């Protein structure tokens, strides 16, 4: 009887472990100007891993999406409480990563999600990251790490990964190394990710990919986004009352420019997506993103992918 209890208890703990999410927190520095080296901007980005799935998102986008999804009194209070327990701030600020990325880790499938006026649009990354793993080892951010280099998106990236964390993943679209990336930076000094903390979170924000989501390709992504913007503008002019009766939904960040949930979408290989709506100014339904316009202009000057 005692043995049966121990077996049951062990299976229970195993189920609980795999049901939880490990959040890897990166201190992320970005140079907003692609021509001049100005003061680096800093924000936190998250890599949330549960089982075979992961999701990369910035702290500020997660807060914005989570608060917007909870748009009724008590729900907002509950959401803020959950966010506080997860160790992140309650109020969103502008982000360089106004999108999110999901991965199926074993299959090395990567999906990039954005939003245009509340409508989801996504594509599957079609370029595998090809690493040159060196024999160089150093201690990076408190971990014994090994150096790897890759050329991706018009930048040469140097990654330091540790085999002490058995997760073949990292920030943004980068994965495929025999361990977690604990430090990542590009050759131009514009982007830098440093792992500063990891924590277990019990509740993940989740929302499936909507049935009307626009599936695109990496090559056609910006054109499809422009098409959605044009479609929205036409519908806005046709709608009774013009734009006076509609909320000002902002579009997501530009392609290549920054977690939420752990539930599968409508296509194979994704498995994770954040809850809430992107590009919404939390200060009011009609104020738009004017307060963040200068920041977003800086973002567009120096995208993370140059080609």
Q: Cα separation of 181 and 173, whole Å?
A: 12
CB atoms closer than 10 angstroms to residue 169: 22
pLDDT at 210: 86
pLDDT at 69: 62
Sheet strands (E) in 51-142: 53-58, 100-104, 109-116, 119-124, 132-140
pLDDT at 39: 82
Cβ atoms 58, 30 nearer than 8 A: no
Cβ atoms 51, 17 nearer than 8 A: no
Phi-psi region for residue 117, left (φ > 0), alpha (ψ -120 to 50) or beta?
A: left
Give me the DSSP letters along 136-174.
Answer: EEEEETTEEEEEEEEEETTEEEEEEEETTS---B-STT-
pLDDT at 90: 58
Give me the DSSP letters along 25-50.
Answer: EEEEEE-S-SSS--PPEEEEEEEEEE
pLDDT at 43: 95
pLDDT at 128: 94
Q: Cα separation of 167 and 169, whole Å?
A: 6
Torsion of CA 81, 72, 231, 268, to 10 degrees: 50
Give the N- to C-terminal CA distance of the chain in Å, as an integer: 63
Burial of 56 per CB tally in 10 Å (0-12, 13-18, 19+): buried
In this structure, the strands spanning 132-140 and 119-124 are unpaired
CB atoms closer than 10 angstroms to residue 147: 17
pLDDT at 209: 83
pLDDT at 243: 47
- Sites in the chain below the pLDDT cut of 70: 1-19, 37, 67-92, 203-207, 239-300
Comparing CA positions, the residue from 42, 101, 57, 98 lying closest to residue 254 is: 98
Phi-psi region for residue 131, left (φ > 0), alpha (ψ -120 to 50) or beta?
A: beta
């Amino acid at each position: 009887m005692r043995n049966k209890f121990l077996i049951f208890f062990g299976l229970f703990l195993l189920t609980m472990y795999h049901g939880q999410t490990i959040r890897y927190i990166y201190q992320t520095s970005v140079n907003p100007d692609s021509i001049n080296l100005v003061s680096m901007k800093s924000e936190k980005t998250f890599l949330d891993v549960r089982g075979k799935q992961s999701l990369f998102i910035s702290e500020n986008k997660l807060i914005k999406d989570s608060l917007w999804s909870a748009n009724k009194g008590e729900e907002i209070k509950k959401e803020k409480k959950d966010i506080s327990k997860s160790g992140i701030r309650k109020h969103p600020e502008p982000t360089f990563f106004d999108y999110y990325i999901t991965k199926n880790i074993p299959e090395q499938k990567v999906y990039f999600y954005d939003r245009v006026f509340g409508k989801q649009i996504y594509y599957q990354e079609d370029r595998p990251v090809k690493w040159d793993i060196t024999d160089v080892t150093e201690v990076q951010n408190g971990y014994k790490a090994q150096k790897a280099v890759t050329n991706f998106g018009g930048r040469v990236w140097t990654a330091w990964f540790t085999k002490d964390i058995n997760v073949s993943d990292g920030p943004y679209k980068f994965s495929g190394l025999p361990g977690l990336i604990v430090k990542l930076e590009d050759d131009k000094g514009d982007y830098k990710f440093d792992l500063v903390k990891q924590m277990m979170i019990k509740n993940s924000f989740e929302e499936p990919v909507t049935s009307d989501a626009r599936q695109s390709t990496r090559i056609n992504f910006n054109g499809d986004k422009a098409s959605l913007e044009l479609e929205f503008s036409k519908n806005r002019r046709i709608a009774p009352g013009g734009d006076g009766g509609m909320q000002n939904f902002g579009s997501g960040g530009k392609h290549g420019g920054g977690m939420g949930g752990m539930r599968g979408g409508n296509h194979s290989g994704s498995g994770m997506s954040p809850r809430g709506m992107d590009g919404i100014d939390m200060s009011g339904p009609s104020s738009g993103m004017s307060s963040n316009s200068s920041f977003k202009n800086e973002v567009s000057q120096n995208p993370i992918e140059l080609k």
